[in-house]
Amino acid sequence: KPEVSDLLVFGPSAFNAYGHVAIVSKVSPTTIEIVQQNPGPLGSSRETYPLRFVGGDWHVESRRLLGWLRLPHKKSPR
């Protein structure tokens, strides 16, 4: 399941031939919210997408979404 601070990777669109990256800012049981910079002429700096658990996997409802990435958690030095 996506977590806050994960990166979402989007494929290309009519306005952006290279794709796009956004940061997960909020997760609820049924949605995720992202923050992004340079969303294009039809986008917003914050967007919300439906989140569903289907067949044992989490799915973010966006036809352009390729997947999400999570940085490994670092252990605190003692």
**Residue range 33-72, pLDDT digits in tens:** 999 998 878 889 999 999 999 999 999 999 999 999 998 8
The tokens of 53 are what?
């658990």
* Number of Cβ within a 10 Å radius of residue 51: 17
Give the pLDDT band (50/70/90) at residue 13.
confident
Confidence at 22, pLDDT banded by 50, 70, 90: very high
> Is the Cβ–Cβ distance between 69 and 10 less than 8 Å?
no
Q: How far is CA 26 from CA 8, 15, 17, 35, 75, in A?
A: 13, 26, 27, 9, 23
